[in-house]
Structure 1
Amino acid sequence: MPILTKNRKREDTMKLRSIVIALGLAMAAGGAQAQSIDLTLSGGNPGGLWSLLGAGLDRAAKAENPDNVITYQATGGGFANIGLLATNRSDLGLVHDAEVKLALTGQEPFKAPVTNLQAIGYMYNWAPMHFFLKKSVADEYGIDSLDDLASSGAPLTIGINRSGNITGDVALFMLEAAGLDEATLEANGGSFVRAGANEQGDLMQDGRITMATNGIFIGHSSFRAIDENTDVVLLEIPEDVIAATNEQFGTSSYTIPAGSYSKQTGDIDTMALGAMVVATDAMDEAVAETLARSVLEHIDEIRGVHGAMKQLSPELMVSQTVLPFHPGAAKVYKEAGLIE
């Protein structure tokens, strides 16, 4: 066979090998790019804010890769979600920072410390505790602050969120820190009434409670109903009560600006609960990295789920202090210059 023909065959063979190798690399790269996540997120009641956050997280994940899926699972709330995460029965959970603080130290309702939780990102920290008191009662007994309640002798019926909801625990703690425990309340002829956010508005309007307490966004529909349908004042909260609550629950101080409600003439200092997306140390680092990158790069998908979420920022996402970040999420935030 002529030498020229042999050389051409050799060249053709080498070109074919190069094409095969290139195709193989392209397929490998395409496979890596197409790698998707399929996660379950435990949240709260269907139709609530957390279900909206679940939808926003799913949209953010799909904006990163159309094959990504985050499936929202309705549960009893943060305490239930921590229980699911502690036993690795859920990939992700929405939880309040205050619930995490109790879980880490094994306080009620937890029987032992929960040690496998790792943060993906903070979603919000602007759900301040409110204490609305009927103005007629406030005027009659000279009450304008939480620490006036016990000494006033007023026979208060106080709405507290249902058992298993962290805002009920926080409200009870704050009232007791201000001197009003259950024994004192009953001695004054009053009582606690367990009721959810919207129920408290109805109970106030019907005269079945004289005071409503909860920790939700300023201007939440349940608060607007109380403000619009009942003549109420927003009570001040002593600084030492706020400080003690933050230490107990890992929450942060917050100010409800003057004018947020119809009869609120000045700023009200309080504390606020926050909520975060939490995974466990069993989550693969690459999965956590993909999730955190999706949220960070497509944050508008989450901001758009509710007017109150417009405040969400990359800086807020990394501002939680109660948990270590999952290594995969931490990698993303370090690359973005958000954490060291």
Structure 2
Amino acid sequence: MRIPVRTLGALALAAAFAATPARAAQDLLIGGGSVTGVYYQVALQVCSLVNKYSDGKYNCVGRPALGSVFNINAVNRGLLDFGVAQSDRNWQAYTGNADWEGKPVKDLRSVFSVHPETVLLVTRKDTGIRSVTDLKGKRVNIGNPGSGQRGNAMDVLRLYGIDVDKDIQAEGLQQHDASRALVDRKIDAFFYTVGNPSAAIEEPANSTDIRIIPINSPAIKRFVAERPYYVMTKIPAGTYRGVDEDVETYAVKATVVTSAKASEQMVYDVVKIVFEHLDELRGAHAAFRHLQPEEMLGGLSAPFHPGALRYYRERGFRIPKTLAE
């Protein structure tokens, strides 16, 4: 049977369309932190919103990572599209201090900030540790290299006059390992910078009697007063099992960063999705419960990425002059 040429042409056209794959979603990677920490939840929950509301435009994956320093460097090298980093590390990287001494990351760009993160020192009650000075001679986890918490731990120890090389047995464990090591009596205490409540503190608190040590010496308070990315704060009594009094310490903010090389439209899309579905983000984790849009523009040091800036201007948010390029 002969098939008309017109019919053959229509069939060929239909076959061509059928063989053409749908436009592939753009892959996005967001680097978080330890799997028991809130940074990882930031990465997971932001990606969940992006995947849900981008109409298939993006395929976003939130990954555990080694923390602030790693994330900033990975973003700068193009290995991550976004990274979560402490506000102090945001400032240090952009201005060329600490791990970036003399080598500022000038392509670093801010996207938004998230929850406040307290600098915690957690111990078991049976160690006899009641103050930072009691750490001398103890086994203390100061955080893995490449994490913001390690920098905070080093600052605290220095301000309390403790030599990390001589006065303590310092460990560099990732946080999920440190939490278990405290319960198993392999370490006596750990530092952790995290939003509250955190599973990394809840898990040992539910397995042993813990104590959270105040970090509030006059030297600490002077240190905080001199740095705009830090604030003094308190962990309310009852946040963790067995911690029945407020504990004074200081805090940074979690910030989401990207590179100046990132697509303006992509960053705009991600920011728009997050801010227009903020109620869902608030409900995803207790640390996000009190997020307010304009407060999410605070605690940042690197300038805003043009995509983020575009959205904030559309919303009429007040933009700090130092962040508007």
TM-score range, shorter chain: 0.7 to 0.9
CA distance in 2, matches of 1:41, 1:245: 33
Partner of 1:244: 223
Partner of 2:204: 226
Between structures 1 and 2, the one with greater helix share: 1
- Structure 2, unaligned stretches of length 5 or more? 1-22, 320-325
Partner of 2:90: 100
Q: What's the Cα RMSD here?
A: 3.0
TM-score, with structure 2 as normaliser: 0.77
Does residue 194 in structure 1 map to residue 172 in structure 2?
yes
Q: What does residue range 140-179 of structure 1 map to in structure 2 within 5 Å?
A: 144-146=130-132, 148-149=133-134, 154-179=136-161
TM-score, with structure 1 as normaliser: 0.74
Partner of 1:66: 55
Contact 2:96/2:104, CA 8 A, preserved across alignment: yes
Number of equivalent positions: 293
Partner of 1:292: 271
Contact 1:129/1:271, CA 8 A, preserved across alignment: yes
Partner of 1:117: 108
Partner of 2:70: 80
- Pair member with larger Rg: 1
CA distance in 2, matches of 1:62, 1:204: 37
Change (3 A) 1:248 1:37: farther
Deviations 1:268-304 (A, max 9, x none): 2212232222222223434333332222112234334
Contact 1:58/1:69, CA 8 A, preserved across alignment: no
SS at match of 1:120: strand
Does residue 212 in structure 1 map to residue 190 in structure 2?
yes
Change (3 A) 1:56 1:206: closer
Deviations 1:98-126 (A, max 9, x none): 3222212334433611001111111222x
Change (3 A) 1:199 1:298: same
Change (3 A) 1:39 1:276: farther
1:66 maps to amino acid? D
Contact 1:96/1:275, CA 8 A, preserved across alignment: yes
- Structure 1, unaligned stretches of length 5 or more? 1-34
Give the % identical residues: 22
CA distance in 2, matches of 1:265, 1:305: 26
Contact 2:31/2:84, CA 8 A, preserved across alignment: yes
Change (3 A) 1:120 1:176: same
1:69 maps to amino acid? Y
Change (3 A) 1:239 1:315: farther
CA distance in 2, matches of 1:281, 1:232: 43
Q: What does residue range 23-42 of structure 1 map to in structure 2 within 5 Å?
A: 38=26, 40-42=28-30
Partner of 2:246: 267
Change (3 A) 1:339 1:41: farther
Deviations 1:139-185 (A, max 9, x none): xxxx6332x337xxx53221221222211221121111111122551
